[in-house]
């Protein structure tokens, strides 16, 4: 199932018996609003006076508005709600960079030689709505022909809140090879059309200034050795092969992180021992100078708290869940398809003087999975797996979902078919 990471949490919380808050959905309203508002103004300047945003951008805003989840700055001067693109590791200081980007095809592959990545290059003659691929209608381009090399450009305003922190530029997915420049300097390269990547662009960032972000995407449509899923390598889709998805097709976003910060999280529920294991990665060796405080909450109520001093970049913490001991309060904590309860988590990094240097939010489902006697066992009991094949392709937007609501509706339809997955 191909889904946008930013919508994962929305998809998993479709159980009708649970009412979820904005915080639980990984949605922030007006968070880092000054940065968001200035980004919107920057896009308007790029489009030019009196111009109209591409149809794909207007459609995305409309679709998301119906769900109450929009793009950054989808209404001028008002609060906005945005689904975080990485809901299992959320910070407040981030901005979505979807929407209108400058765009150009490079069929003759002249861009690198002619330095299209340099600020002021006069080659970007079109506009595209990111994160939709140019083959799709939602992008505003809708050209399904063979165009192996694509270039994108937009301006990112560096927030005044940057201070001594780091500025990280994220890409949810770019099909297939990507090179990224910031102010004419190569930030990095990435290969693989379905995996997220990021670059630290702090070197070029100065608070209150603008950064020119340029992306070159190379996706050889007729190279059958290149991983492509069910994308057609012929000019027209046929049989079971779908239209192509090239270039940026997942959310682009930026976040501010402290020098020492949480770099990764992974959860390992342990129902038998009423605990959850947390794999915690920090950006630099802590050398015993950092302490992690973990708080686990159910519907806003604290159910567990754990503190540990960190000595390695990669640490394993075992966190007891008293409510699950002796199975007294276990049912309230358990995740299942019929009751998709999720436990919210706050992770705080502190230095010896007690000051907080990083604060992130996450979540996990408390459940056990095993196979025994040829049966699938969930939370100690058998569950019949009735599964639906979901192709993850939309005619108007190809591999990129047209909106979070579209993802939600697909899962609701699966549940209405009495499927468990």
CB 315 within 8 A of CB 284: no
- On whether the 262-371 domain is CATH 2.60.40.10, my answer is yes
The rounded mean pLDDT for the chain is 82
Bridge partners (DSSP) listed for residue 359: 348
Residue 51 has pLDDT above 70, yes or no: no
d(CA 262, CA 257): 9
| Residue 3 confidence (pLDDT) | 28
Comparing 380 with 67, the larger pLDDT belongs to: 380
- Is the per-residue pLDDT at 188 higher than 60? yes
Q: Which pLDDT tens digit goes with each residue over 79-95? A: 334 689 999 999 999 99
Domain boundaries along the sequence of the chain: 262-371
The pLDDT, as a whole number, for residue 229 is 76
Mean pLDDT of 194-199: 96
Cβ-based neighbours of 332, under 8 Å, separated by 6 or more:
298, 323, 341
pLDDT tens-digit map of 5-47: 333 333 333 222 222 233 333 333 333 434 444 444 444 444 4
Hey, how many other C-beta atoms are within 10 angstroms of the C-beta on 382?
A: 12
- Confidence bin at 250 (pLDDT 50/70/90): very high
CA 352 to chain centre: 33
Q: What's the burial of 378, exposed, middle or buried (CB within 10 Å: 0-12/13-18/19+)?
A: middle
The residue behind tokens 């939010």 is 361
* CA-CA-CA-CA dihedral for 200, 204, 207, 212, to nearest 10: -100
Cβ neighbourhood burial of 122 (10 Å; 0-12, 13-18, 19+): exposed
Q: Per-residue pLDDT for 411 more than 70?
A: yes
């Amino acid at each position: 199932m191909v889904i946008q990471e930013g919508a994962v949490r929305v998809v998993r919380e479709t159980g009708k018996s649970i009412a979820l808050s904005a915080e639980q959905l990984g949605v922030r309203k007006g968070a880092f609003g000054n940065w968001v508002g200035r980004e919107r103004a920057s896009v308007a300047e790029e489009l030019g006076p009196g111009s109209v945003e591409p149809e794909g951008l207007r459609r995305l805003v409309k679709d998301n508005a119906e769900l109450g989840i929009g793009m950054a700055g989808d209404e001028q001067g008002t609060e906005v709600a945005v689904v975080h693109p990485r809901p299992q590791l959320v910070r407040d200081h981030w901005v979505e960079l979807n929407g209108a980007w400058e765009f150009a095809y490079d069929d003759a592959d002249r861009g690198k030689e002619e330095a299209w990545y340099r600020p002021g290059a006069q080659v970007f003659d079109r506009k595209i709505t990111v994160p939709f691929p140019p083959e799709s209608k939602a992008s505003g381009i809708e050209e399904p022909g063979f165009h192996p090399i694509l270039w994108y450009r937009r301006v990112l305003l560096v927030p005044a809140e940057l201070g001594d922190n780091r500025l990280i530029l994220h890409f949810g997915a770019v099909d297939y090879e990507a090179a990224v420049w910031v102010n004419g300097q190569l930030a990095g390269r990435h290969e693989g059309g379905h995996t997220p990547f990021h670059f630290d662009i702090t070197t070029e960032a100065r608070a209150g200034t603008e950064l020119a972000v340029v992306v070159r995407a190379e996706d050889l449509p007729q190279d059958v050795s290149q991983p492509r899923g069910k994308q057609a390598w012929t000019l027209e889709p046929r049989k079971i092969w779908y239209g192509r998805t090239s270039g940026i097709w997942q959310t682009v976003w930026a976040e501010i992180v402290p020098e020492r910060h949480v770099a990764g999280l992974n959860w390992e529920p342990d129902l038998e021992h009423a605990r959850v294991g947390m794999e915690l990665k920090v950006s630099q060796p802590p050398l015993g100078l950092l302490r992690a405080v973990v708080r686990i909450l159910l519907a806003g109520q604290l159910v567990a708290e754990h503190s540990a001093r960190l000595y390695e970049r990669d640490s394993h913490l075992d966190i007891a869940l008293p409510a699950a001991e002796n199975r007294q309060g276990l049912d309230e904590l358990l995740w299942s398809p019929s009751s998709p309860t999720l436990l919210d988590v706050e992770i705080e990094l502190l230095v010896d003087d007690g000051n907080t240097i990083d604060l992130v939010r996450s979540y996990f489902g408390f459940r056990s999975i095993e196979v025994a006697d040829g049966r699938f066992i969930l939370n100690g009991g058998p569950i019949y797996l009735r599964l639906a094949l979901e192709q993850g392709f939309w005619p108007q937007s190809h591999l990129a979902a047209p909106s979070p609501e579209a993802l939600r509706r697909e899962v609701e339809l699966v549940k209405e078919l009495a499927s468990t997955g």
